[in-house]
């Protein structure tokens, strides 16, 4: 029930360009040895409907229910992820900014690091990060292992150094035994990064209501939520938010259809995005498109945390990315759809 003509012409260049990028990007940055097969269609699915074909034709794909990972590496990485001794003052762990009970974030506009120093960006969720083609808002890390270097050694985050971290681990008998069991060469910088990367790959949240809908359960979402999904597609949101992670597989300029930063004011270096990595003018204000998985749990939104609610976020994105001012009912439909994307995290390796 879209109550006005969609601004297709304003979004046309975005749709065409992004569609090409989408087809070139990998679904994940890791090779997964095994992925559980798609579930059988629900018994109440429309007779004659090929549910596998239906899902394949949609711009969004369901998350795999399982990923084959080494259990000992996951267990070790889980312990490291929650250990504040990896920070210089022994007070901040990876889980401080990526709380698994808060959607993998900390619900802060910008996270606080060592000594309460506020960071420059909103912390993205760690859930489903294995399916991102790059890590960090500016995409400066190509893998989860490479990503570990950022917060661990950043002076405004955990502010640690590797010699101190490795010495701490080497003085802990439980860690010595765990690393010896997991890696032939024991405690090394690379093995710490491998363990943390493997644990993060285990943080998947399958079986959202929308995933169940894609797999054939037509009762998994309501008529209003389905209408919101149709609007999501018609507006062109899927030009950037698609694939298994509903984002995370391309870069996009913030403010394609309006000058977001001029309107917001107080532009900082962090607002330059990908430009800070490449130095290329075409990458100015360009960011990795975030995943919309579990988005109802991860407020506030955007790289700067300036959208306090989901409704704020969809209005900002519609205005500055698609050139469309949303009516209240359309904003409500989009939010209703986005709430179907909350999955299920099964804690433990």
Catalytic residue list? 157
Tell me the C-alpha to C-alpha distance, in Å, between residue 337 and each of 209, 211, 216, 256, 279.
10, 12, 17, 24, 37
Cβ atoms 213, 220 nearer than 8 A: yes
- Sequential DSSP letters for 175-221: HHHHHHHH-TT-S-HHHHHHHHHHHHHT------HHHHHHTT-TTSS
Other Cβ atoms within 10 Å of 68 Cβ, number: 10
Name residue, tokens 């990028």: 21
Distances (CA, A) of 273 to 150, 282, 289, 307: 15, 11, 11, 18
Q: SS3 for 70?
A: coil
Output the DSSP codes for 145-171. HHHHHHHHH-TTTT---HHHHHHHHHT
Q: How far apart are CA 33 and CA 1, in angstroms?
A: 42
């Amino acid at each position: 029930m879209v109550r006005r003509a969609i601004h297709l012409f304003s979004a046309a260049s975005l749709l065409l360009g992004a569609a090409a990028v989408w087809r070139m990007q990998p679904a994940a940055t890791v090779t997964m040895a095994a992925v559980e097969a798609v579930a059988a269609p629900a018994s109440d699915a429309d007779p004659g409907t090929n549910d596998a074909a239906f899902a394949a034709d949609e711009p969004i794909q369901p998350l795999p229910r399982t990923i084959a990972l080494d259990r000992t590496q996951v267990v070790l990485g889980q312990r490291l992820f929650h250990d504040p001794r990896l920070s210089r003052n022994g007070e901040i762990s990876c889980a401080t900014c990526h709380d698994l009970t808060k959607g993998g974030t900390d619900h802060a506009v910008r996270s606080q690091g060592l000594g309460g120093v506020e960071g420059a960006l909103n912390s993205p969720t760690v859930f489903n990060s294995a399916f991102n083609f790059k890590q960090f808002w500016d995409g400066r890390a190509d893998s989860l292992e490479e990503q570990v270097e950022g917060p661990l050694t950043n002076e405004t985050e955990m502010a640690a150094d590797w010699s101190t971290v490795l010495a701490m681990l080497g003085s802990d008998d439980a860690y010595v035994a765990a690393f010896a069991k997991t890696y032939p060469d024991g405690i090394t910088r690379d093995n710490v990064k491998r363990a943390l990367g493997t644990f993060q790959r285990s943080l998947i949240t399958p079986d959202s209501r929308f995933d169940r809908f894609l797999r054939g359960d037509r009762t998994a979402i309501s008529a209003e939520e389905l209408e919101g999904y149709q609007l999501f597609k018609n507006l062109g949101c899927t030009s950037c938010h698609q694939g298994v992670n509903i984002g995370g597989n391309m870069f996009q300029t913030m403010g394609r259809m309006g000058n977001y930063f001029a309107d917001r004011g107080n532009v900082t270096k962090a607002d330059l995005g990908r430009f800070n990595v490449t130095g290329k003018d075409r990458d100015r204000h360009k960011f990795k498109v975030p995943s919309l998985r579990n988005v109802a749990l991860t407020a506030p939104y955007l790289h700067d945390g300036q959208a306090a609610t989901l409704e704020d976020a969809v209005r900002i994105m519609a205005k500055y990315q698609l050139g469309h001012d949303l009516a209240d009912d359309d904003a409500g439909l989009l939010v209703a759809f986005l709430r179907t994307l909350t999955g299920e995290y099964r804690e433990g390796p």
